[in-house]
Structure 1
Amino acid sequence: MWLTAGYPLWWALGLGQFAFWLFAVPMVIELVRRHHAGRPLFLPSGFTLWVLFLVWSVAGLVLVGLTPAGALAGTGGMLGAIMRIITYLALTVLMLYVGNLSRTELSDLRIARALGWLCLATVAGGLLGTFWPYFEFTSLVEMLLPGSLAGESYVQALVHPSAAQIMDVLGYESPRPKAPWEYTNTWGNMLSLLLIWLVVGWVARGSTRRQLIGVTAIAVSVVPVVYSLNRGLWVGLALSVAFALVQLLRRGRIAAVSLCAGAVALALAAVLVSPLLDILQERADNPHSDDGRAVASAAALRAAGDSPVVGWGTTRAALGSGSSIAIGKSPECPQCGNNTIGNNGQLWLLLIANGWGGTLLFLAFFAQAAWRHRGDLSLVGSASLLSILLLFWYMFFYVALTAPLAVSMIAVALLWRRSREKTPTVVSTLESGVR
């Protein structure tokens, strides 16, 4: 619970995604303790697929030093590849930890409320980034790092807390909120996922006070959502609403469907008559990153075609960008330079880093989990299923590491343990993992 509920503190300290590594240690210790105490260690169905994906990721390290066609030589960093694998391992531990705790030890509602609290922090960070975009400070971790390392742009994104990314998307510089996350795209991805749990833990199953806080947060989140200029987020929210309506229909909740549809209509009407509409229209007229994304995506496909089994181990810098074949940026061409192949979405990251083999294993694990538990129409079951399904939308635009993938892994754990605890017989470790 401290990992999710305390994340704003970890962000402020400069730990950010490294908090998932740190908290994986006591989780492993607890799992080992339970095993030594004679309690079975359960594994989710399809876990073999995930283990094979981890093996694929390690195997790809052999190719990190090589250069695929269309990539800049010497840009495959071993450190980044190893960090990515450590993150996958840490999130594996998180999934196993949640899945092995009974609902008596750690209830679904406690998890939903912790994620809902994190949503409140994300909404607050969005408002901070919208209205006070230049807010930033030096974190404790940043102070402790050597200056040469702390000054690296990638390290800065991880350890230097700031409210927004200032970007030229509409033809002029404008802030795009990101606190308490590393990037504005991560902020959008997380907000979309966490809103689900805010509804479950605070609005649907909370006290009057919690409900008021939750509804207010949802209402005010519209402002940073629009100012984030995040088209993937906008569509993702629409897909979430559509999914919720379908689930309500499957449960025969016709009145609830009508109420939700009316609330959505009112929200859209409010946006259409507000200044936010101008922002939406400006964003539609300025595709901004489309060319660069197309170039990077095509390069990832080519790289996967050249090494389809295990990929190339990690990302690479492309030769040029969607704006120019020039190698570096300049004042005359700020969009020139090198797109990072695999940095524009989890799918493209998987393709270049792990090839078609690793990509299929990764996606198959989540697909089988969603399919296996599709019949869970409960509130928590539906929220968990949606948290997994959204991965298949956002993978085209956002890299899921680290926090977004953590939410999806928690969702898998919730569905798996709910299904297991409905079964009257206790299955052994290996039996539950193989089935």
Structure 2
Amino acid sequence: MPAAAVQTGRPGPTLRTPSRLPAWPLLALMYGFPFFWVTGTSLFAPITLGAIMGTFLLLRGQARTAPGVLCWFAFLAWVAVCAVSVTGFMQLVGFGQRAADLLAVGIAFVYYVNARESISLAHVLRGFTVIWATVVVLGLLATQFPDFRLITPLSHVIPGSLLGNELVRELVLPRLAEVQDPWGAEEPFVRPAAPFPYTNSWGMAYALLTPVMVFVWTRLRSWPGRILLAVALVASMYPAAQTSNRGMLIALALFAVLIAGRFVLAGSLRTGITVIGLLVITTIGAAAGGVFTAIAERQEVSHTTSGRGAIYEATFEKVLQSPIVGWATPGMDPTIGIALGTQGYAWTLLYSYGFIGILLFYIFLGRVITASWHLRTPESHMFQSLVVTVALTIWFYGLGVTQCLILLMAVAVLSRGVTEGDVADG
């Protein structure tokens, strides 16, 4: 009989094992991505499923923490503080939507860390594959049916006043492509956008997930699966080229260089050289396919570089007027005709939540990278490179809720790897 039982006359205390978290809410958030686009519910799905995951976490109790969790929720706490800058009802709606999306992806992060018994890395990779495949298929359709606009079921029931909001309209009546016809262009530019409102969002999702798909290809054991994914990767280059998106190409090249460097630093010189070789071959193929020529032709008539410079300058000047708590949401500048704080997620953070907001966001990213640096698995190298790619490219690329989910799930894999001591060589 245990000594404690002899001395007290009653059984010693026992530790209650936390219940198993169901996998379906997080998997639905990723696997249901094409369904949400078709039904027009992509505006509400992350918040709804995030609330469900949060409820399961509260009911379960004894939530595990992991590197980055406290930093993310410190960032969210500051976002809540910045609500003091809200000046009207419509701004409150926009602020609330962004804050709720950030909270939802943060809950997904914590959920994955705590659902190790029910959700594996393979589940996350399959979810990423569904999102990437949706992006590619709709991108291909956009090149063939650029004027098509989907009438979703939600568009029939949503109030007309909400349809007046551009973002809401683009989500419940989504178009396949942005068709731009700038003065001086010989013909309109057809740039794939679906399943997102804008082409830049398509480019960011493609840039973050395509290297992940190459990693998925290396894990597949069936040759039919490998052949199918290889064909899909090759086919995806066509809509990617049609975007004539410089930022996407920069992000892809940066991602590849970071992965190669990370493998070299870990002692896998052959893998690093292979990645660089693939990057060179892809660059040559892009040049031969006229991708760089198309980008140059678009720049001749769009002048987006000089336009962005003026927007960044105006944004920074406005930030200096409220450097601590920002302006809560991006705001329209009537002299430019563009909402300040929309030309890159870093500028959104800076404009909406001030210098403290963007600092906390980068502290979060830095905490995850430093904590996971000792990991030695291929997936850790890949996801570390993804996080750094985001940190560097958000100065000219925005992050919607889907892109934030991709980032937070990459962080979740790294953080859970740290808590599980996953340092074995891959």
| TM bucket, shorter chain | 0.7 to 0.9
For 2:190, which of 175, 191, 200 is the aligned residue?
175
Superposition map of 1:118-157 within 5 A:
118-157=131-170
Give how far 1:318 is off. Answer: 1.0
Higher mean displacement: 193-202 or 226-235: 193-202
Superposition map of 1:31-430 within 5 A:
31-35=57-61, 40-65=62-87, 77-102=91-116, 104-168=117-181, 171=185, 172-286=187-301, 288-321=303-336, 338-422=337-421
1:300–1:342 CA contact under 8 A, matched in 2: yes
What is aligned with 1:5? 31
CA distance in 2: counterparts of 1:282 and 1:246, whole angstroms: 33
- 1:108-158 superposed Cα distances (whole Å, 9 cap, x missing partner): 122112202221221111111122212222001111112343243221112
Give how far 1:229 is off. Answer: 1.7
CA distance in 2: counterparts of 1:310 and 1:209, whole angstroms: 53
Q: Given residue 134 of structure 1, which amino acid in structure 2 is its aligned partner?
A: D
Unaligned runs of 5+ in 2: 1-26
Give how far 1:287 is off. Answer: 5.2
What is aligned with 2:42? 16
2:262–2:385 CA contact under 8 A, matched in 1: no
CA distance in 2: counterparts of 1:55 and 1:256, whole angstroms: 41
Q: Given residue 71 of structure 2, which amino acid in structure 1 is its aligned partner?
A: L
- 1:338-364 superposed Cα distances (whole Å, 9 cap, x missing partner): 210111111111111111111111111
Unaligned runs of 5+ in 1: 66-73, 322-337, 425-435
Aligned in 2, Cα 1:76/1:359: closer, same or farther, shift over 3 Å? farther
Q: Secondary structure at the match of 2:178?
A: strand
- 1:150-207 superposed Cα distances (whole Å, 9 cap, x missing partner): 2432211121122111123573422110111222111111111111322223343442
CA distance in 1: counterparts of 2:154 and 2:170, whole angstroms: 12
What is aligned with 1:70? none
Larger radius of gyration between Structure 1 and Structure 2: 2
Give how far 1:237 is off. Answer: 0.5
Q: Could you tell me the TM-score, scaled by structure 1's length?
A: 0.85
Aligned in 2, Cα 1:381/1:374: closer, same or farther, shift over 3 Å? same
2:244–2:291 CA contact under 8 A, matched in 1: no
RMSD of aligned Cα (Å): 2.3
CA distance in 2: counterparts of 1:29 and 1:316, whole angstroms: 34
Give aligned-pair identity as a percent: 25
Q: Given residue 319 of structure 2, which amino acid in structure 1 is its aligned partner?
A: A
Aligned in 2, Cα 1:248/1:237: closer, same or farther, shift over 3 Å? same
Give how far 1:417 is off. Answer: 0.9
1:52–1:361 CA contact under 8 A, matched in 2: yes
Q: Given residue 318 of structure 2, which amino acid in structure 1 is its aligned partner?
A: A
Q: Could you tell me the TM-score, scaled by structure 2's length?
A: 0.86
1:129–1:163 CA contact under 8 A, matched in 2: yes
Give how far 1:293 is off. Answer: 2.1
1:203–1:210 CA contact under 8 A, matched in 2: no
Q: Secondary structure at the match of 1:181?
A: coil
CA distance in 2: counterparts of 1:376 and 1:258, whole angstroms: 20
Aligned in 2, Cα 1:168/1:367: closer, same or farther, shift over 3 Å? farther
1:125–1:163 CA contact under 8 A, matched in 2: yes
- 1:23-79 superposed Cα distances (whole Å, 9 cap, x missing partner): 1122112212321xxxx20123343332232222122222222xxxxxxxx898221
CA distance in 2: counterparts of 1:339 and 1:359, whole angstroms: 21
- 1:403-433 superposed Cα distances (whole Å, 9 cap, x missing partner): 1111111111111111111289xxxxxxxxx
Q: Given residue 279 of structure 1, which amino acid in structure 2 is its aligned partner?
A: A
CA distance in 1: counterparts of 2:274 and 2:111, whole angstroms: 37
2:314–2:340 CA contact under 8 A, matched in 1: yes
Aligned in 2, Cα 1:122/1:206: closer, same or farther, shift over 3 Å? farther
What is aligned with 2:13? none
Aligned in 2, Cα 1:405/1:208: closer, same or farther, shift over 3 Å? same
CA distance in 2: counterparts of 1:115 and 1:291, whole angstroms: 35
Q: Secondary structure at the match of 1:161?
A: coil
CA distance in 1: counterparts of 2:353 and 2:291, whole angstroms: 41
CA distance in 1: counterparts of 2:388 and 2:45, whole angstroms: 25
Give how far 1:284 is off. Answer: 4.7
CA distance in 2: counterparts of 1:3 and 1:202, whole angstroms: 23
Q: Given residue 306 of structure 2, which amino acid in structure 1 is its aligned partner?
A: D
- 1:274-328 superposed Cα distances (whole Å, 9 cap, x missing partner): 344531331354453223322322222122222221112111111311xxxxxxx
